[in-house]
Structure 1
Amino acid sequence: MKNPEVKASVQQSLTKRPAVTAALGLILLIVAFVGIRRWTTPPPVEQQFHTVKRGDMLISVVEGGALKAVNESIIRSEFEGMSRIISIVPEGTYAKKGDLLVELDSSELKDRLNQQEVSYQNSDFAFVQAKENLSIQRSLVDSQIKDAELRAEFAKSDLDKYIEGDAPQQINTQTNNIIIRKEQLQRAQDKLDWTQQLFKKGYASKSELEADGLSLMQSKISLEQAEEDLRLFRKYDMPKSVRRLESAWDQAKMELGRLKQRTSNQIAQAEADLRTRQRALELTLEKLNELKQQFENSRIKAPQDGLVVYASSNPFIGGSGGQILIEEGAQIRQRQEIIKLPDVSQMLVEIRVHESHVLQIRAGLDAYVTVDSIPDRRFKAKVKKVAVLPNSQDRWMNPNLKVYSTDVLIEDELPDLKPGVSARAEIIVTNLVQALTVPLQAVTTVKGKQVCYVQNGKGTTPAPVVVGNFNDQFIEIKSGLKEGDRVLLSPPAATDNADLSGSIISSAELEQQRTAPPATTAPKASPGNNNTSTQANPGREAESASGSIAAVATGQPAVAPGIVPPTPPAATAEPGSEFGGRRRGGNDPEAQKRREEFMKLSPEERAARMQQFRGRRGQPVSETSAPQNRNPE
């Protein structure tokens, strides 16, 4: 090409042949791509193995929490409506039973209390007056009824007296009078007859004869009059008198009935008035007592000995930053918590256990508590209570996270500690003797089954295993392995030599993936599986990283059958490391923090992060899955 003539000839040839130019450019691009790929492919990482052996294994669950008093009194405002704090004891004060803790503003209440006392006095006077009025009414009614009953009794007595006494006596008198008149008439008749005989003989004068005749006539008239009087008495006077007396008796009885009804209404009205006054007095007294109680409620005293801790209000209601500070001058509503008065003589640790461990935890299990402020001491404890349902607050914040509130009661005597201090509880589940164990990261899930990759010559073979109990470092192998087997500490991920459903990829499929262009190649899915690649949804792989250990222990796939979360190299799988060390449970703050940071990344940053993660494990950085031991060409 140094000869100008040759160079011009070549350029002329290329100008005449555009197809040759395009082919040459394509060859240059392929060469450049192969060179870049070789340069960016990291060297393979040496695999590390663990020798399966038997030994004692302590099964425990370690969770963090905070100290809480067993006996805690919550001081609430019982003052009606809103009130203002005038004075309050400083937080942290140790209060004795009966000590004044809080004083609320009660100036308006005092005025209402004075007015209510006046109302009570008026109601009491009205009640006494109604009571006296009822007593007077009853006395007056009794007197009137007795008088009416007496009049009716007298009327009946008069009637009986007349019928049984006066009338018969008068009849007897008139009858006797008639008898006398008849006798007088007979004597007058005899005398007249005798005088007539004497007059005929000349012994009597004519005047004597006429006088005796007149006497006879008078006797007849008197007899007839007496008989007529008796007849009139029996026919008219006696019935008339009886009817008059009967009427008087009936009137007396009806008057007595009317009086009883009238007085009964008067008594009922007086009693109703008394009940009304009494109820008004009771309501007034009840209101007065309520105001007095409210006045007492404005001065809140300690119900027991304890440490004064200000209560926090609902973080979603009012206040700066969602908080209503408890301080002098603050507005307090009724039933709002003001002070918590814990009895620090006996305390517990309130922890939250992940759902993967909750079946192992039960009340009565032994535990040990370590307080963060005293890390060199352990306190003996027991599990007191395990919640039946998951914690609703954590479930609301993260629906995929289910933890159960658990109380661990500290049995040893504690030093001077305050509630809320961070602590960690280790619950002893069981202690396995001479159990066959492997590290947690050595077990993975393929097609919904737990497997370990066992060293077989220069390669590894997946061996199905049956797992048992586990702690934060090791897991029990019940079957599938034997003592002396060497298992891979970094099993192949789901995209190394298994598809997204967990089925192993054949050699032909693997070779096809190797030769396919990187930009268009994706892992081959098994029939009937519509899952996308890991890089297409990096958030799913991040979720798998936090849930795979629980899935291995429970025998369930972590995210989908066959999906195994990325595991760091064997160097990071030692006890105490990020993945192989002590597990903090489903609510580990460090894992949660890493998960949140990953979810904040953009899709491009997530894909880059996942490629870097595979590179550290010896996997190709490209999207095409490849066997772990493949060397870059």
Structure 2
Amino acid sequence: MTTETRRFTTVRQRLVAVGPFVFGASCRQVVLAGILGVMVIAVVGCGSDDASEDLSTTLTHTISRGDLSVMVTEQGMLESSSNKEIKCKVRGQATVLWVIETGTDVKPGDELVKLDSSTIEDNISTKKISYQTAMATYAQSESDVQVAEIDIQEYIEGTYASELKTKQKDVAIAKSNLRSAENILEHSQDMFTKGYVSTLEVEGNTFSLQRANLELEVANTQLEALQRFTKEKTLTDLRGKLKAKQAKMKSDKANLDLEKSKLDREEKQLENCVITADSSGMVIFPSMADWKSTPDVEEGATVREDQVLLQIPDLRQMQVKVGVHEAYVDRLKPGMRARVTLLAETIEAEVSTIASIARRSGWWTGNMVKYDTVIKIDVGEDSTYRPGMSASVDIILAEHVDVLTIPVAAVVETNGVYHCWVKEGNQTQKRVLDVGDSDDEFMVVKTGVKAGDKVVLNPRAYIEEAQREGLEPTASAEEKSAADKPKKPQADKPKKPQGDKPKKPQGDKPKPKPKKPSKP
């Protein structure tokens, strides 16, 4: 069926479709319907010159040489690269009673945040009691040490000296008694030889002499024991008690210092409940998480120790942090040129850092994986830019000079092969392209077209061949890898002779063997 016949059939079908409305209508309506049918046939006849498609209404693009900048565009927020952080110094957790509004200009000494201090005030009262108790214990320990030191001095200079003299006196008395006993015994013996005293008296004097000797030995032993043992034992005991009391005094002193440090710490915590500015500048809230709608620091919020509550940014050092899609992150490098658009003004910038780990993603990001990329900009001394302003960033991934470019809308890709359709008169010609780098609008084309060619935009809407290309199934990765592998060379197998094959005899076929009867 020719194209003209096919189009006539289509018009006839359209007329049949409107037949029920024409049937039974007035004569004037029938005439109007006939005129309408003639006009449709005339239009169809005018378009029958093209044997394939009607290209009169297609949009085309003329291939030319030019420069192409491949960029990735992302939206970000202006922030300072140097922020003075104001952190919570209260241990544990605290509740925010009041916080200054973000964007307020402050000077040193201005109050920024007030935290709840009721619990800390109770702790201070308890710590004061413990501190006073520790002071009393330490004072008693100091007194005990001093008494122990006096006891040692008292024993050496008093008790021991007195006992020593007493023992020495006993020895002297014992020696005197011994001499008297010797003299009496000697006299009684002289008297006994002369017959003036009896034997019994001599024996009594002899016994007195023996007793005096024993008493002298006892006195000497007691004196020696005092000097050698009793003194050392008593001093060892007194010195041990002194060391024990000194150790207790050190323990009580450490406990006193501990209680004092606890009290000082609580008093310092009370001071930290009121946070003031130590420098001039504009205070802002730190960046909150993407999934949160309110800042972390607000009245009634609970904050923890070392949490950043506010920031005072340096407005002379600014940057823009954007999230770059994972498809482009491998092409990013520090030092790449970028253009930042702020308040309809474009600023030249460069890529500073690229995160090695993707930012957290979820429903708030559409589950898109992005990597934080910092763009450093120079805003000057008298800049009017402020943190939090929206910024559009164009990161230049590559720049191609004097190359052929083709619109992305004119290219159809099927199984890794790129095609386009070049319009020549009222017909089109399919071309295979060798393409290079591309952005969202144009692609670098190496071969397949030349400057001056007119390529059809959106060919799938006008050209049946392009539609068929789009409907072809895409080869899977395994099929592509299998197709790319080189085939192994097969060794030449010996060919069988092509002569006449021996025919099987056409005699009687062997009878089939009888089947064994199946077991019941």
- TM category, shorter: 0.5 to 0.7
Residues 148 and 256, structure 1, Cα contact 8 Å, conserved in 2: no
Aligned to 1:475: 443
**Matches of 2:168 and 2:349, distance apart in 1:** 99
Could you tell me whether the CA contact under 8 Å between 2:94 and 2:115 is conserved in 1?
A: no
Q: Which residue of 1 aligns with 2:24?
A: none
Query: Is structure 2 residue 300 aligned with structure 1 residue 331?
Result: yes
Cα separation, partners in 2 of 1:419 and 1:281, compared to 1, 3 Å = same
State yes or no: 1:409 paired with 2:421.
no
User: Which position in structure 1 is the counterpart of 2:389?
Assistant: 421
Match of 1:143 in 2: 154
Deviations 1:462-498 (A, max 9, x none): 5252524x34433334x54464384554355996325
Distance 2:146 2:77 in 1: 70
Distance, in Å, in 2 between the alignment partners of 1:429 and 1:144 is 95
2:326 matches 1:355: yes
Pick from 402, 409, 415 the counterpart of residue 434 of structure 1.
Answer: 402
In the alignment, which residue of structure 1 is the partner of 2:474? 502
Offset, 1:147: 5.7
1:325 CA displacement: 8.8
Distance 1:289 1:282 in 2: 10
Whole-angstrom distance in 2 between the partners of 1:391 and 1:461 = 44
CA contact (8 A) 2:435 2:443 kept: no
2:402 maps to 1:451: no
Q: Find the partner of 1:71 among 57, 82, 86.
A: 82
How does 1:113-512 map onto structure 2 within 5 Å?
113=124, 116-117=127-128, 119-144=130-155, 217=194, 241-242=216-217, 245-246=220-221, 248-250=223-225, 253-310=228-285, 323=294, 330-335=299-304, 338-371=309-342, 373=343, 375=344, 377-393=345-361, 397-399=365-367, 401-413=368-380, 415-447=383-415, 449-453=416-420, 455=422, 458-461=427-430, 463=432, 465=434, 467-468=436-437, 470-477=438-445, 479-481=446-448, 483-484=450-451, 486=453, 487-490=455-458, 492=460, 496-499=468-471, 501-502=473-474
* Native 8 Å contact 1:155 1:249 kept in 2: no
Classify the secondary structure of the residue corresponding to 1:340: strand
For 2:68, the equivalent position in structure 1 comes to 57
1:85 aligned to 82, 97, 112, which one?
97
Maintained 8 Å contact 2:421/2:459 = no
| Higher relative contact order, chain-length normalized (CA < 8 Å, sep 6+) | 2
Answer whether contact 1:365 1:382 (CA < 8 A) is retained.
yes
Instruction: Give distance in 1, aligned partners of 2:264 and 2:360.
Output: 41
- Structure 1 residues 354-363 or 109-118, which shifts more? 109-118
Distance 1:324 1:55 in 2: 48
Change beyond 3 A, Cα 1:464–1:438: closer
**Counterpart residue type for residue 431 of structure 1:** E
Contact 1:455–1:485 under 8 Å retained in 2: no
Which residue type is aligned with residue 72 of structure 1? N
SS of the aligned residue for 2:303 comes to coil
What displacement does 1:70 show? 1.6
Which residue is equivalent to 1:545? none
Letter in 1 for 2:80: A
- Separation in 1 of the partners of 2:417 and 2:109? 63
Question: Following the alignment from structure 1 to structure 2, what is the Cα–Cα distance between the partners of residues 455 and 386?
Answer: 42
Between the aligned residues of both structures, percent identity stands at 21
Change (3 A) 1:69 1:229: same
Could you tell me the TM-score, scaled by structure 2's length?
0.63
Task: Give the stretch that moved more between structures: 140-149 or 64-73.
Answer: 140-149
Deviation string for 1:563-586 (max 9, x for gaps)? xxxxxxxxxxxxxxxxxxxxxxxx
Aligned to 2:279, what secondary structure does the other structure show? coil
> SS of 1:364's equivalent?
coil
- AA partner of residue 453 (structure 1): C
Q: Is the 8 A contact 1:383 1:409 kept in 2?
A: yes
Counterpart-to-counterpart distance in 2, 1:218 and 1:245: 38
**Distance in 2 (alpha carbons) for counterparts of 1:304 and 1:244:** 88
Residue 393 of structure 1 aligns to a residue whose secondary structure is coil
Tell me how far 1:296 sits from its aligned partner: 1.3
Counterpart Cα distance in 1 of 2:228 and 2:316: 84
1:18-60 per-residue CA deviation (whole Å, 9 max, x = no partner) reads xxxxxxxxxxxxx799969xx9xxx966555545544333333
AA aligned to 2:317 is Q
Aligned to 2:498: none
- The aligned residue for residue 10 of structure 2 is none
Shift of the 75–332 alpha-carbon distance from structure 1 to 2, 3 Å rule, reads farther
The Cα shift of 1:404 comes to: 0.9
Deviation at 1:384, TM superposition (A): 1.7
* Residue type of the alignment partner of 1:402: V
Q: Distance in 1 between matches of 2:241 and 2:192?
A: 72
Amino acid at match of 1:410: I
Q: Distance in 2 between matches of 1:462 and 1:238?
A: 145
CA distance in structure 2 between the partners assigned to 1:246 and 1:342 by the alignment: 91
Contact kept, 8 Å, 1:311 with 1:340, in 2: the verdict is yes
May I ask how many residue pairs the two structures share in their alignment? 423
Q: CA deviation at 1:421?
A: 0.7
Q: Give the whole-Å Cα distance in 2 for the aligned partners of 1:338 and 1:246.
A: 84
Unaligned runs of 5+ in 2: 1-12, 19-39, 41-52, 482-520
Measured in 2, the distance between the counterparts of 1:471 and 1:250 equals 110
CA contact (8 A) 1:100 1:302 kept: yes
What is the distance in 2 between the residues matched to 1:446 and 1:153?
121
* Contact 1:307/1:344 (8 A) holds in 2: no
In structure 2, how many angstroms separate the alpha carbons of the residues matched to 1:391 and 1:141?
Answer: 75
CA contact (8 A) 1:441 1:489 kept: yes
What residue ranges of structure 1 are gaps of 5+ in the alignment? 1-30, 186-213, 504-525, 530-554, 557-633
CA distance in 2, matches of 1:103, 1:243: 86
Distance in 2, matches of 1:44 and 1:275, equals 106
Q: Say which SS state the counterpart of residue 497 (structure 1) adopts.
A: helix
Question: 1: CA distance between counterparts of 2:164 and 2:456?
Answer: 123
Q: Which amino acid aligns with 2:70?
A: I
